[in-house]
């Protein structure tokens, strides 16, 4: 379980296809405090740590299944790509964002970018099947970042990125056409499930 508050920006150091995809991710985290088997959200995808090291810089390895690649933007990872990282929530941690599972629902596409003062307004296009779960002033997780939706029009929705968010995450690198990992709000998912169940 995560909160969508990014605590490090990692870098893809190695990619090896051997059965599943294995990725080595450079990090600013103290790897001495990470256990093998720990969960780390990498651009919003909950991945399991299978190896750790500290030379020439701190790093951890993850193994990624074909299923995860098919549902996320991991297939587009290249060496040097920067990733939003978040370690799993501990009991007693501050819940600064919203509850995020690290299970990506689909991919949203960046279809608009414009400056608004010091901030950047980004318009995303959600898959039609997920658009109904996105509401103005509701929460979404995009590439692992907990964000508040400003407006919704059909399958498009807008997010305002303040300078701090752009500096503390990879959102300063956003470009038109980017495909980003989208996780809808868990509460919206359960409300829809209850509605559908009640209608049966």
The pTM assigned to this predicted structure is: 0.92
Structural fold of domain 106-199: Elongation Factor Tu (Ef-tu); domain 3 (2.40.30)
CATH class entry, domain 8-87: mainly beta
Tell me, yes or no, if the two domains 8-87 and 106-199 fold the same way.
Answer: yes
Q: Where are the domains of the chain?
A: 8-87, 106-199
* Bridge-based pairing state of the strands 145-148 and 139-142: antiparallel
Q: Return the higher-pLDDT residue of 142 and 198.
A: 142
Q: Report pLDDT digits (tens) over 129-140.
A: 999 999 999 999
State residue 92's pLDDT score: 64
Question: Looking at the predicted structure, is the pLDDT value of residue 189 above 80?
Answer: no
Q: Report pLDDT digits (tens) over 138-157.
A: 999 999 999 999 999 999 99
> Which of 107, 106, 158, 152 minimizes the C-alpha distance to 132?
152
Q: What is the mean pLDDT of residues 8-20?
A: 95
Query: For residue 171, what are its two tokens?
Result: 């959102």
Q: Report pLDDT digits (tens) over 68-125.
A: 999 999 999 999 999 999 999 876 666 777 889 999 999 999 999 999 999 999 999 9
Quickly list DSSP for the chain. Answer: -B-S---EEEEEEEEEEESEEEEEEE-SS-GGG--TT-EEEETTEEEEEEEEE-SSS-EEEEEE-HHHHHHSSGGG--TT-EEEEEEPP-TT----S--B-S---EEEEEEEEEEETTEEEEEEE--HHHHTT--TT-EEEETTEEEE--EEETTEEEEEE-HHHHHHSGGGG--TT-EEEEEE-HHHHHHHHHHHHHH-
Average pLDDT, the chain: 93
C-alpha span between 92 and 80 (Å, rounded): 34
């Amino acid at each position: 379980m995560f909160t969508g508050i990014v605590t490090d920006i990692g870098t893809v150091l190695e990619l090896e296809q051997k059965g599943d995809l294995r990725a080595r991710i450079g990090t600013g985290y103290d790897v001495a405090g990470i256990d093998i088997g720990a969960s780390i959200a990498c651009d919003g995808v909950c991945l399991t740590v299978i190896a750790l090291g500290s030379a020439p810089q701190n790093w951890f390895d993850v193994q990624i299944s074909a299923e995860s690649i098919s549902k996320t933007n991991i297939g587009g990872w290249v060496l040097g790509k920067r990733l939003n990282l978040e370690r799993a929530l501990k009991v007693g941690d501050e819940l600064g964002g919203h509850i995020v599972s690290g299970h990506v629902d689909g991919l949203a596409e960046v279809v608009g970018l414009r400056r608004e003062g010091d901030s950047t307004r980004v318009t995303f296009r959600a898959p039609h099947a997920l658009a109904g779960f996105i509401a103005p002033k509701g929460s979404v997780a995009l590439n692992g970042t907990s964000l508040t939706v400003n407006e919704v029009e059909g399958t498009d929705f807008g997010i305002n990125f303040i300078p701090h968010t752009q500096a503390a995450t990879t959102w300063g690198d956003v470009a038109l056409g980017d495909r980003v990992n989208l996780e809808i709000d868990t509460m919206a998912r359960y409300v829809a499930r209850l509605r559908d169940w009640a209608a049966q």
